[in-house]
């Protein structure tokens, strides 16, 4: 793993060039209440190059530097802090265990930056993420520029660093794919427990507790707050209160995925609370499933999100018309975006260290970017029929269905990382019949 981080730093160094210098901070701790913090998670970009997960650290990459390109400013070891919060790597640990060429105290960041900026033409740093750090960086930047009269090269611009890093992160390495497969496997197992424990009378939060337990016993955490939405709650796209009791006849939409060693999975299944889909639920489910499978079948290098989305819109509009939920000419319905009453989100998103992972959705020309092997994305069409939609017959109202899988683009097509989780109606009904 150490080698992989090193390789990433080398690639970034090449992109930056010897005239540039990159500054990458990690995330801050965040208070949950008074003196209790949320569990700490390092910044994905920072971790991607360092594998270091303590707060209060900034990585600096200065390609071609005599004393080494990889510099980290971090907390020095403090025995008292270690008693309360555990092991700290400190200034030596970061060199020994994370390959830093040099390390300095985080308190000295401003001075260190100023000295490292000398001789560089541009600073690569993403402004606007953290006021305190922005100020420190600007002070160093201005201090160096003020000293320009003494001669020598000083930086003349600050360039956003994110686009460079995010392009790198978009293409997953073999190692990253293996971590994502593991995240997918654990998340599949969590959803299988949902199939098993879902029945009338159970509360949504109890299902959520099962999911968290499955994640936790495998050493992972939720990659995002699980959506456990029974009945009409499924029509609230980001329903996370998860407080209601499930009733017979309802559907349960569960959108949950774990984060394994910083990599996320993201899966949605929609199952019948009492084990059998009603006629109307089945009709909508079959439509969503067909659209999802068609989209997955067309994932390959060269495909685009835009291409998948327009196919999905066409298929959903035709399907909704066939069921009598939309009326009119297909081309007109598509043009007037009539489907948006039922399908109001995208077909999928990049997946990686962040659940809605980084990487541009557009190419340089502003077109939807073409998939390449090594990209990972979700495919997640859905239909959500508002309780208030008086244009459809009452049996359809309040049905919300989404089916979501994680897909790796390969050289010849794609590999569905979450394929071991059933999604066919007969499979789900027969699993639930055993409950």
Least separation in angstroms between CB 179 and Ca ion:
18
> Hey, which residues are catalytic here?
35, 238, 255, 266, 345, 349, 356, 380, 384, 402, 404
- Alpha-helix residue ranges (DSSP H) falling in 249-304: 279-297
Residue 417: how many CB atoms within 10 A of its CB?
A: 24
Question: Tokens 């025995």 belong to which residue?
Answer: 79
Pick the closer one to Ca ion by CB: 214 or 266: 266
Name residues contacting Ca ion, limited to 197-256 (CB under 5 A).
Answer: 255
Residue closer to Ca ion (CB basis): 136 or 417: 417
Phi, psi of 255 (to 5 degrees): -115, 105
Piece of the chain touching Ca ion by CB under 5 A; list 9-17, 137-145, 241-249, 260-268:
260-268
Record the tokens describing residue 25, joined without a space.
Answer: 């901070």
273 with 250: CB under 8 angstroms? yes
Q: Kindly tell me which residue out of 45, 266, 354, 405 binds Ca ion, with binding defined by CB under 5 A.
A: 266
Question: Can you tell me the distance from the alpha carbon of 155 to that of 313, in angstroms, rounded to the nearest whole number?
Answer: 49
Shortest Cβ distance from residue 136 to Ca ion (Å)?
A: 37
Nearer to Ca ion, 240 or 425 (CB): 240
Helix (H) or strand (E) holding 102: strand 102-105
- Minimum CB separation of residue 75 from Ca ion in Å reads 35
What is the β-pairing status of strands 157-159 and 122-124? parallel
Near Ca ion in 144-173, by CB under 5 A: none
Which residue number, 196 or 356, has a Cβ lying nearer to Ca ion? 356
Region binding Ca ion by CB under 5 A among candidate stretches 19-27, 204-212, 263-271, 426-434: 263-271
Of 126-134, 175-183, 259-267, 361-369, the window that binds Ca ion (rule: CB under 5 A) is 259-267
For the chain, the first-to-last Cα distance in angstroms comes to 42
Q: Which is nearer to Ca ion, 222 or 272 (CB)?
A: 222
Options 9-17, 264-272, 297-305, 319-327: segment touching Ca ion (CB under 5 A): 264-272
Which DSSP symbol is given to 167? H
The H or E element spanning position 222 is strand 221-222
Q: Which of residues 41-60 bind Ca ion (CB under 5 A)?
A: none
* Sequence-distant (≥ 6) Cβ neighbours of residue 360 within 8 angstroms: 163, 166, 167, 170, 369
For Ca ion, the binding residues (CB under 5 A) are 255, 266
């Amino acid at each position: 793993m150490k080698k992989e981080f090193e390789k990433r730093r080398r690639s970034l160094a090449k992109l930056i060039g010897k005239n540039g210098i990159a500054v990458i901070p990690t995330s801050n701790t965040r208070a949950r209440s008074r003196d209790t913090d949320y569990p700490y998670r390092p910044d994905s970009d920072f971790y991607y190059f360092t594998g270091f997960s303590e707060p209060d650290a900034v990585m600096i990459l200065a390609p071609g530097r005599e004393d080494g390109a990889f510099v980290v400013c971090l907390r020095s070891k403090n025995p008292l802090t270690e008693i309360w919060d555990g092991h700290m790597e400190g200034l030596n640990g970061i060199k020994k265990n994370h390959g830093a060429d040099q390390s300095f105290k985080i308190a000295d960041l401003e001075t260190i930056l100023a000295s490292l900026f000398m001789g560089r033409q541009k600073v690569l740093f993403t402004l606007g993420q953290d006021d305190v750090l922005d100020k420190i960086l600007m002070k160093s930047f201005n201090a160096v520029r003020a000293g320009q009269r003494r001669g020598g090269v000083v930086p003349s611009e600050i360039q956003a660093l994110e686009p460079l890093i995010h392009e790198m992160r978009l293409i997953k390495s073999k190692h990253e794919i293996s971590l994502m497969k593991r995240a997918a496997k654990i998340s599949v197992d969590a959803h299988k427990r949902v199939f098993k424990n879902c029945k009338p009378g159970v509360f949504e939060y109890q299902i959520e507790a099962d999911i968290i337990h499955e994640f936790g016993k495998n050493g992972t955490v939720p990659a995002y707050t699980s959506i456990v939405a029974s009945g009409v709650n499924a029509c609230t796209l980001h329903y996370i209160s998860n407080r209601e009791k499930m009733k017979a006849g309802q559907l349960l939409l569960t959108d949950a995925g774990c984060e394994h060693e910083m990599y996320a999975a993201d899966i949605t299944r929609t199952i019948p609370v009492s084990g059998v889909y009603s006629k109307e639920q089945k009709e909508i489910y079959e439509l969503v499933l067909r659209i999802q499978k068609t989209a997955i079948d067309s994932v390959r290098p060269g495909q685009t999100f835009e291409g998948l989305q327009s196919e999905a819109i066409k298929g959903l509009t035709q399907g909704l018309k066939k069921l009598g939920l939309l009326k009119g000419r297909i081309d007109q319905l598509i043009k007037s975006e009539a489907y948006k009453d039922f399908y109001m989100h995208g077909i999928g998103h990049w997946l990686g260290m962040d659940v809605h992972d980084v990487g541009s959705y557009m190419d340089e020309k502003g077109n939807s970017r073409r998939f390449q092997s090594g990209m990972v994305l979700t495919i997640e069409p859905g239909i959500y029929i508002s309780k208030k939609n008086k244009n459809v017959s009452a049996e359809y109202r309040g049905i919300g269905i989404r089916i979501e899988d994680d897909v790796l683009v390969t050289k010849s097509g794609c590999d569905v990382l979450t394929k071991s989780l059933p999604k066919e109606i007969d499979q789900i009904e027969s699993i639930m019949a055993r409950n």
